[in-house]
Chain A
Amino acid sequence: MTHPFLFLKWLTEQFHLNLGEHVTYTWLVMAILIGVAFVVSRSISLVPKGLQNLMETVVSGVANLLEETMGEEGKPFFPLIATFALFILVCNLIALIPGFMPPTANLNTNAALALMVFAMTHIVGVKKHGVAYLKHFMGPIWWLAPLIFIIEIIGHLARPLSLTLRLFGNMWGHEIVLMIFIALVPLVVPVPMMLMGVLVAFIQTFVFTLLAMIYIAGALEEAH
């Protein structure tokens, strides 16, 4: 239910390789990001121009968001969060070019990202608080702890699920709606939907990075 012709899928079929198209397109996105980062970092000048200007705006925007949401404590997580933001944004926006498929319209890519957030949350929590991290799951009243513990565990397990399904549902749903519109009226009519796709791409990137930040900040703060 994506674009009828995916050029990387066609390319892998020529070489008789059985790679999923989400894998090949993830590699493409990685190559784009690494290439842009390489080109920009080779020719850094004090007065930025062109591509460097754009990248500086993007990176400082993410840094500001991190500062607002997590405060000073969030500084060490900047590489992780910025990588999420750039990767998901490029993945989502690539869907607007014919012949490309967004890797985020596949459950596996999103599950990998969400599990990374899940693991990071708990690793950071244990590192910061040690055994006292268990207090996060116990709630304020000691005799309610067994009940709260189970509820908290379910809540924590639901986080990666909802992160995965939100991104997947939005991107894939948009692809399906676009395909149905193109099947009904191939000209002009799908354009507003594609415009909404740009909006969805940006909002979902924002939401994913924001939720990742909030989860990590929640593990960092003291239990009450």
Chain B
Amino acid sequence: MEFFAWCMVAAGIGMGLGSFGTGIGQGLAIKSAVEGVARNPGASGKILTTMMIGLAMIESLAIYVFVVAMIILFANPFTEEVVKLLAK
């Protein structure tokens, strides 16, 4: 049973760490974009497009962590073996 408890812990902490870094990264990206628009409002269209691509790239890191967390929680490949071992 301890195995599943640790799975929960791993998924939770992993997601937390992943979104922590992603949050900082996206915050930096948006900070620069807002500064750019404030200095040159005419370039807002181009900046918005570039920022969106950048944000999508940064965000995919958090998405990877999310997918791994979901695999750990709902589709853990070791579940059957652990259940077999527990039954012994």
Contacts and interface: CB of A to CB of B under 8 A. Distances in A.
Contacts, number: 37
Interface residues of B, number: 14
Contacts of A176: 70
Interface in B38-88: 45, 49, 52-53, 56-57, 59-60, 63-64, 66-67, 70, 74
Contact of A214 (B53, B59, B67): B53
A173 interface: yes
- Interface of B (DSSP majority class): helix
B52 A206 contact: yes
- Interface of A (DSSP majority class): helix
Contacts of A203: 52
19 contacts: A1-B74, A68-B45, A165-B60, A165-B64, A165-B67, A166-B56, A166-B59, A166-B60, A169-B60, A169-B64, A169-B67, A170-B63, A172-B70, A173-B63, A173-B66, A203-B52, A207-B56, A210-B52, A210-B53
Interface of B: 45, 49, 52-53, 56-57, 59-60, 63-64, 66-67, 70, 74
